[in-house]
Amino acid sequence: MSRLTSAHRVRLSRVKLSSAVALAGVTLAAGLLTAACQEAEAPTAQGGAPSGSNTAATATKGLKIGSLLPSTGDLASIGQQMVATVPLLRDTVNQCGGVNGEPVTLVAVDDQTEPSAGAEGMTRLAQVERVAGVVGSFASSVSTAALPIAVRNKVVLISPGSTSPVFTQQAKEGKYDGYWARTAPPDTYQAQALAKLAAEKGFKTAGTVVINNDYGVGFEKEFVKSFDKLGGSITNQSKPTRYDPKATTLETEAAAAFSGKPNAVAAVLYADTGSLLVKSAFEQGLSKGVQLLFTDGVYSQDFVNKVGKTSDGKSILAGAIGTVPGASGKGLDQFSKLWQQTQNRPLAAYAPHSWDAAAILVLAAEAAKSNTGEGIKSKLRDVTNAPGEEVTDVCKGLELLRQGKEINFQGASGDVDIDANGDAIGSYDVWTVKEDGAIQTIGKVNPAQ
């Protein structure tokens, strides 16, 4: 802006202008200055913002939050429904008075299920948009890339789906300084739940195949340990099968996972690449008579459709079973009704967890009377744990906080009692694939202790 002013003064000193022309020149310069400042404040694009997002300038008054979730990439089939949830929370809050007397602003970023894109997106959210808190990410590998940036900039990151046990350990080591939490339970528990499910089904041997990232490897290690404690044996334990997240052919990995003639194969996958592996196992005749055990990473109709059908029209995945973090919170009914009113699709996995993550951000900011990351961090556990009046309605929670009262938020996904490591504990739904390819929930399993 100083260069524009200097140029203008030089121009005035060299040219003799009438007072009227001079005044017009000053007016024009002021207009240029205003436009230059507005252009500097406009947010840069990063994967685009979904419908309903608000990409206001960094000077936005009031609480500003972000979402860092996959609209594209290997987890898009699940992530897109998580992305759609956060604006619902923002709109609900703004309709009942906002936070600290002002509307909440949302900036949505597509992390593309890629750590590099996640790091770039988090940098934008923290340093350009100046958000106080972020809902994200889904992939543990993306959250791993984003977390150091969030912590360094004092931005609270609450993940609705990054379940790697690594986060618990690093939180214990003090690496996150309280700026990390998640509403989905860590895979320490889901791996135990899957091992328990396998044992309950009578399987004595199992192979493993996992995506080679924080999510897959962390899950694999805990599953192997838990299955062994329950009397099971891992057929490829000496040489675990882990596949490259960028792989385009997976015949070799499929063969390795099913070697040793296991009763079952625990497959910790993402939808796009995982469909290639499972289809390859079927085409090679490896999966015949072997029980497929899946996890939350492929809990989507898109995954089933990509694997395909047999020659007689039945789903290749018919009879497969899996686990996924369940949603059984006291606030689930209320959230489900809102979802049905606004979304033309069934309630999806992790949508309740995304709602809860966004709700915690706004409730903590109201409790702190501060629209900063430090403020949210200071009250994050106060609003999610006892003591305090139990509330399932985020608007009621905000109103009680405005009155100076304490609350204990009960979410749609669960109680969301966030502990010192940022973890919440939950139960798991058991799902299966029917012959026609439909996914059906058939029960629940609690982690083996």
How do residues 206-217 score in pLDDT, each as one tens digit? 999 999 998 999
Residue 12 inside a domain? The answer is yes
Tell me whether residue 221 is in a domain.
yes
List CB contacts of 235: < 8 A, sequence separation 6 or more: 205, 206, 207, 259, 260, 261, 262
Encoded amino acid at 54, one letter? N
CATH at 252: 3.40.50.2300
In a domain, 51, yes or no: no
What CA dihedral angle connects 204, 245, 142 and 224, to 10 degrees? 20
447: pLDDT confidence band, cut at 50, 70 and 90?
Answer: confident
Kindly state whether residues 303 and 364 are assigned to the same domain.
Answer: no
pLDDT digits (tens, 9 = 90+) for 223-239: 999 999 999 999 999 99
Say whether both 223 and 313 belong to one domain: yes
User: Does 308 lie in the same domain as 166?
Assistant: no
Indicate if 169 and 218 belong to the same structural domain.
no
pLDDT at 427: 78
Q: What is the pLDDT of residues 147-198, one digit of tens each?
A: 999 999 999 999 999 999 899 999 999 999 999 999 999 988 899 999 999 9
Domain limits for position 72: 64-184+350-403
One domain, residues 20 and 127: no
Q: Is residue 275 part of a domain?
A: yes
- Which range among 44-48, 90-94, 156-160, 271-275 shows the weakest confidence by mean pLDDT? 44-48
Q: How confident is the model at residue 55 (pLDDT cuts 50, 70, 90)?
A: very low
Give the pLDDT of residue 69. 98
Instruction: Please say if the pLDDT value at position 31 is more than 50.
Output: no
Is pLDDT of 49 > 70? no
Q: Looking at the domain assignment, is residue 114 inside a domain?
A: yes
**Domain co-membership, 310 together with 354:** no
- pLDDT for the residue 24: 39
Under a CB-based contact definition with an 8 Å cutoff, are residues 352 and 412 in contact? Answer: yes
Specify whether 99 is located in the same domain as 216.
Answer: no
Output the CA angle 188-189-191, nearest 5 degrees: 75
What's the domain count of the chain? 3
Asked if residue 135 and residue 210 are part of one domain, the reply reads: no
Percentage of the chain modeled with pLDDT above 90: 81
Q: Do 392 and 439 fall within a single domain?
A: no
CA 65 to chain centre: 14
pLDDT digits (tens, 9 = 90+) for 364-373: 999 999 999 9
The pLDDT value recorded for residue 201 is 96
Same domain, 311 and 230: yes
Rounded to whole angstroms, the Cα distance separating 171 from 159 reads 14
Do 219 and 312 lie in a common domain?
A: yes
Q: Is the dihedral of CA 252, 253, 255, 260 positive or negative?
A: positive
Confidence of residue 60 (pLDDT cuts 50, 70, 90): low
What would the pLDDT profile of 103-124 be if each residue is shown by its tens digit?
999 999 999 999 999 999 999 9
| 106 lies in the same domain as 167 | yes
Residue type, 298: V
